[in-house]
Structure 1
Amino acid sequence: MNAYDEGSDARHGPDAPAEPPPPADPRSGVAALPLRYQVVVAVALAVVAIGVCVHLGMMFLHVAPPNTVTKEHGRAVDDWVYPEFEQNWKLFAPNPLQQNISIQVRAQVRTTDGMTLTTGWYDLSAEDGRAIDGNLLPSHTQQNELRRAWDFFVATHDGENRPVGLRGSLSESYLRRIAVLRLDRDDAVRATTGGGGAVERVQVRSRTSNVPPPEWSREKVSTTPSYRELPWWKVPRDEAAGGVR
C-alpha cells in the first residue's frame, strides 16, 4: 500500500466528516406561496371547477332529450342557457331552412315644424348582408342580432301578432329598439325630412321568399315573396332620443 492509498483510507475512514447533503430544489408555482395564499388559490380553483361542472351539466340537460330533471327544473335550465349559451342543431338538420327571410322597417317622423312624414321601407337584413359580404371576420351583431330578434318575436307571438306569455312584450321592445337604432344609424330622419325631427312610431315587416331549387332539380317552388306586417309601435321618448337631430 502506498502513501496515496493510506491517505485515501484516512479520509474515508469512520472518523472522516460526513459530506453535506445537496441543496433542496427551491419551491415554485403555488407551492412557493405563503400558506394563506395557497388556501386562497385552492378555494378559487374549487369555485371555478364547480362553475364549470354546473355549466356543463346545464348544457347537457339543455340538449338532452326530455327527462325527469328537465321536467322538474326546465325553467332553471332555460334561464341559465338563454340567450348567451343557446344551442341548436340547424347545421346538421335533415331538413334545413329553405327560405330567405329579410326584416324591413319604416318610421313615422315628426318634423321640427310639427308635420308627420313616413319613411320608405329600409331592408335591415340586406344592410347586414352587405356588411358581411367580403368580411373575413364579421361581428356577432352583424350576423345574428337582427335574425335572433325576429326569431325571438315569432316564438313569443301567435299568427295575429299577439304576445304569448310574459316574454312577448320583451321581444317587442327588443325588436323596436334595434329598428330605431338602425334608422338613426342610416340617418332616416334627415333623409325623410331634409332636416331635423324625431321618430314617433315604427313598423316592422318580414319578407319571406323560397330559395330556388338547383338547376338539376325538377322541383317547382314559387319564388313570390310573402309579407308579415306588424302593427305600428309607438317609440318611447327615451328611445326616440336616439333619432333626434
Structure 2
Amino acid sequence: MDSYDDAGGEHGNGNAVPRDGQREGQQERAAGRDEDVLPVLPSVSVPPSDSALTSVSAGGPAPALPSVTVSAVSPDPVPASSPAGGFAPVPPSDSVASRDRAPAPVPAAGSRAGMAALSPPYQIAAAIALSVIGLVACGHLAMIFLYVSPSNTLTKQHGEAVNEWIDPEFERNWKLFAPNPLQQNVAIHVRSVVVSADGERTTPWMSLSAEDSKAIRGNFLPSHVQQNELRRGWDFYLSHHDRENRANGLRGELSERYMRRLAMLRLSEHDYGGTIERIQLRSEVRTVAAPPWSNEQVSTEPSYWELPWWTVTEADLPEGAEGVGK
C-alpha cells in the first residue's frame, strides 16, 4: 500500500489527498475569492467531507478537516483592482447612482415668454405697432435712396414728394455715383451799410468762411456749427434760387431769411459804431489747382456772385439784440 507523499501523488490513482498545510492554503484562497464577490450571506459552517478521504490508505486514520467559515460581505462591494486572471471590479448599481442625481427641474405648466405672455388684445396691438414701425422705416430708407440717387424716372415723377419728406431734417449733401465730385473752394463774404452820427458808410467785405476756418484750425474738437452751419445754409439758398436770385417757392423765402439771420449773427460780434441798415452777401469760388503730376490746365482765378442788398428788420436780429444792427 502506497503512503501519502510526493511519489504517491505521481504514481497513485490521481486522487491523492493533499497535506494539511496545502489544504489549509487552498481553503484560505477559496475563502478570499468568495469574500470579494459573494453577496450578503450569513456565516455557514461547512463540515468536513468524507469524499476527500477515499484515496487514503485503509490502514491510516483520516486527517481531520477544519470547518470553513464564509464571512458576510458588504452590501455594495467595490473590490480593488485584481491581478491578471482575477475578477473585474463591480460597478455600483443604477439604483445607487439614481439616488445621487438631483431631479430635473420641471417647467411650470402654461408658462410663456415674450409677446406670447400678453393677452390677445395686447398681442394684436403689439403686432400692429411693429408692422407700422417696419413700414415707416422701409419707406424712409426708400426716400433717402431716391434722394441721393441720380436723376431717374421715379425722382422726376415724385421728386417734390421726396424733397418734402427729406428736407430739412434728413437732408443729405452727397450723391450716389457722383461723376464729378466737388473741386472748388467756396467762400461767403458779407458787407453792410452802417448809419451812425457821422452819416452812412459801407463796410468792406468780410469773409465769414475765413472766420469759421480760423476757429477750426488748431481745434481738436471743432463744433458742428463752425464746420457746417454756413456751408449748409448757402447750399440751401442756392438749391431754391435761380441765377436771377428768384426764389423757388416757400423754401426759397425760408432760405433767404435764414441767410439774413446768419449774417446778422456774425456781424453782431463786431462793433461798427452804428446801426446796420442793409447787408449784402456774395460768394467767391476758386477752382482747386491741379496736382503737380497732372497735365490738366485749370484757372484758379476767383469768380464772384453777388446777391442784392437786403434791408435788415427786427426779425433778422439775433436774440437779445437791442435796435436794428446794434
TM-score range, shorter chain: 0.7 to 0.9
Question: 2:318 and 2:157 mapped to 1: Cα distance?
Answer: 44
Greater share of residues in helix: 1
Question: 1:75–1:162: structure 2 CA closer, same or farther, 3 Å change rule?
Answer: closer
Structure with greater Cα Rg = 2
Aligned to 2:152: 66
Pick closer, same or farther for the CA change 1:139–1:84 going to 2, 3 Å: farther
> Residues 159-214 of structure 1, C-alpha deviation per residue, up to 9 Å, x if partnerless?
33333444332222121111111212xx22x2x21xxx443211101111222222
Map of 1:74-223 to 2, 5 A cutoff? 74-87=159-172, 89=174, 93-111=178-196, 113=197, 115-184=199-268, 187-188=269-270, 190=271, 192-193=272-273, 197-223=274-300
Preserved contact between residue 90 and residue 96 of structure 1 (Cα < 8 Å): no
Count how many residue pairs are aligned between Structure 1 and Structure 2. 226
TM-score calculated relative to the size of structure 2: 0.57
Calculate percent identity across the aligned residue pairs.
52
Cα deviation, residue 103, structure 1: 0.2
**1:134 Cα deviation (Å)?**
4.0
Give the partner amino acid of 1:222: S
* SS of structure 1 residue aligned to 2:241: coil
Unmatched 5+ residue regions in structure 2?
A: 1-38, 41-74, 76-94, 96-102
SS in 2 for 1:182: helix
Tell me the secondary structure at the aligned position of residue 317 of structure 2: helix
- The amino acid across from 1:66 in the alignment is N
Contact 2:260 2:316 in 1 (8 A): no
State the 1:48 CA deviation: 1.7
- Larger RCO (alpha carbons 8 Å, 6+ apart): 1
Instruction: Output the CA distance in 2 between the equivalents of 1:165 and 1:21.
Output: 71
Residues 84 and 36 (structure 1 numbering): CA distance in 2 closer, same or farther, change over 3 Å? same
**Structure 1 residues 51, 102: CA separation in 2 closer, same or farther (over 3 Å shift)?**
same
1:235 lines up with 2:312 in the alignment:
yes
Q: Is the 8 A contact 2:265 2:317 kept in 1?
A: no
Partners of 1:155 and 1:20 lie apart in 2 by 71
> Runs of 5+ in structure 1 lacking a partner?
10-18
